[in-house]
Homo-oligomer: A and B are copies of this chain.
Amino acid sequence: MDRFNLAVIGATGAVGEIFLSILEERNFPLNKLRLCASERSLGKKIKFANEDHYIEPVTNELLSDCDFVFISASSEVSLDIAPRAAKLGSIAIDDSSAFRMNKTVPLVVPEVNSKDLDQHKGIVSIPNCSTTPLTMVLHELGKLAKINRVIVDTFQSVSGAGAGAVFELDSQNHAMYENSEIQTSIHPHRIAFNVIPQIDDFTESGYTNEEMKMINETKKILHRPDLNISATCVRVPVKIGHSEAVHIEFEQNIDIESAYSALSNAPGITLLDDTEKNHYPMPINCEHKDDVMVGRLRKDVSLPNGIVLWLSCDNLRKGAALNAIQIAESIIEKRLI
């Protein structure tokens, strides 16, 4: 079996850390692993598979030495590194929004559109962490009947904004209990004991960038530019796990049993739906899990052709690191490298 050289850019970040632990869990066919991060982490030691690895700078030697370069830093970093990596013959799998809507870059959730990898030109984007679980559910239910409209409201954890945002939530909680001054730097307002209906900047339409990402990325991944979809994205004081209330309108009537059956057979989806036992997805039961958890499936009382559901997903795993690794696995399996 072939083995591959892989670099992780952003190895010390929230997603980078999870990326490394999933690589090990899944026994990724690794030859050489090289780790990079921002300048202040250079030389830092990280243990992987019982071996020490040192954070090194991103050089052209490193990029050309690697088969895959996973990037989870900022859009600026991605804009610099991904094209260089592609030019030097490696495949960049990019967690930023920089290339997602670029027509020559596949935006992939392997369970949904791995076929789009066939056209890759050295850069593959992974979707926003709130987009991925939504597309998986819509893809499965869309096999039952055409979906005309989707309304989704999100409950997104702070780790979606990076490790610093988790630290900020803890610090604010402590400050509140100690009656000391509350510092705010990452979120636009205090997040402790609060919810913030803003993730990323606002666009002219009144939607935020995060909302427009969910809307546009979902259309691209599902190959449904005509899909009517609206979103409100909200930050909640949860550390890991994004949840979504999803309202789906189909072209025709879907019985709830068919929806159950479609979702229970879907790869990467676990149904957690037993209202008698109060079982449904929540951040606390999706954390550290690979699957998207779906529950509270019901006929929409306001619409004959509507279905309502609720999902939770570990935003660092399927929302980011796991999806990236699955893309690499899919590229290997399809012999596209």
Listed in ascending order, the chain A residues whose CB lies under 8 Å from chain B are 149-151, 153, 155, 173-174, 177, 188-190, 193-198, 202, 205-207, 215, 228-230, 232, 234, 236-239, 243, 245, 247, 256, 275-276, 278, 280-284, 295-303, 306, 308, 310
Contact = CB atoms under 8 A, between A and B. Distances in A.
Given A149-B303, A302-B230, A193 B247 contact: no
B195 A298 contact: no
Nearest to A169: B193
Given A193-B238, A194-B238, A238-B237, A205 B280 contact: no
A236 B215 CA distance: 25
A284 B197 contact: no
Given A232-B245, A232-B308, A310-B232, A195 B282 contact: yes
Given A149-B303, A155-B236, A195-B283, 13 more contacts: A153-B232, A173-B173, A188-B278, A193-B238, A193-B283, A194-B282, A197-B280, A206-B256, A206-B296, A215-B301, A228-B303, A234-B243, A236-B237
B283 A205 contact: no
B245 A206 contact: no
Contacts of A303: 149, 228, 230
Contact of A299 (B206, B245, B308): B206
Contact of A229 (B236, B295, B302): B302
3 closest pairs, A vs B, by CB?
A206-B298, A228-B302, A202-B275
B189 A282 contact: yes
A234 B155 contact: yes
A205 to B, nearest CB: 6
A138 B298 CA distance: 25
Given A173-B173, A236-B236, A247-B230, A195 B155 contact: yes
A215 B302 CA distance: 9
Contact of A194 (B149, B151, B284): B284
Contact of A230 (B190, B206, B234, B301): B301
A302 B234 CA distance: 19
A224 to B, nearest CB: 12
Contacts of A155: 155, 195, 234, 236
